[in-house]
């Protein structure tokens, strides 16, 4: 049974591939713009549903929506003080985000959706992340390394930015882009493809 990942994120792909889940990647192309005054929880849920729906519909139209072919879509955002920190578009924007996060605790929300045909199951996971105080020199050095490109909140926990995080409360993989334990639990509940060690087959 193959899981279709509706995302171009290499981090999500790698997290799932390491579990031995048969995987096909079909990225969803949707408008991820934030609506005026949109709540972060509403935003991530809306985008995840749009991604899942787009690929599930595409598979059905192509006659590829056979039983057992679940689509997994997800969206992750970083928030602080109710503001959504998406993917920085410039060095200056990345630096501003890092200054906002410096010495404070922020939230990372990931909404994920499993879809098959018109059926959708969804969940949202929150992780609290506390950052160390960052001097202007540290911020400038991190921005210069370019690790932040394409990352919500302008940092990558799995990379150099791991040294900028003082504590995490909640799912670590959620901060990377996909709350793996919660995704596996939902896959098990709907009868979707499971990691080989969960399904009882040696890796």
Catalytic machinery residues: 75
- Record the tokens describing residue 47, joined without a space: 């985008």
Chain centroid, CA 150 distance in Å: 12
Neighbouring CB atoms inside 10 A of 125's CB total 22
> H helices of 18-171, where?
40-61, 91-101, 136-145
Which one, of 69, 96, 67, 66, lies nearest residue 83 by Cα? 96
Report the SS3 class of residue 153: coil
CA–CA separation, 166 and 175 (whole Å):
14
- Record the tokens describing residue 133, joined without a space: 């105080």
Report the SS3 class of residue 111: strand
């Amino acid at each position: 049974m193959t899981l279709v990942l509706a995302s171009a994120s290499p981090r999500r792909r790698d997290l799932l591939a390491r579990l031995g889940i048969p995987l096909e990647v079909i990225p969803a192309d949707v408008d991820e713009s934030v609506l005026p005054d949109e709540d972060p929880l509403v935003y991530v849920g809306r985008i995840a549903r749009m991604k899942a729906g787009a690929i599930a519909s595409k598979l059905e139209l192509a006659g590829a929506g056979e039983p057992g072919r679940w689509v997994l879509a997800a969206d992750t955002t970083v928030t602080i003080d109710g503001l959504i920190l998406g993917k920085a578009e410039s060095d200056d924007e990345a630096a501003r985000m890092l200054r906002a996060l410096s010495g404070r605790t922020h939230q990372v929300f990931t909404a994920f959706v499993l879809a098959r045909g018109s059926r959708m199951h969804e969940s949202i996971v929150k992780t609290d992340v506390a950052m160390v105080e960052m001097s202007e020199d540290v911020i400038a050095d991190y921005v210069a390394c370019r690790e932040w490109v394409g990352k919500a909140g302008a940092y990558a926990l799995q990379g150099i930015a791991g040294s900028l995080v003082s504590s995490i409360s909640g799912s670590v993989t959620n901060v990377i882009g996909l709350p793996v334990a919660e995704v596996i639990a939902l896959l098990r509940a709907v009868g979707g493809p499971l990691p080989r060690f969960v399904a009882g087959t040696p890796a």
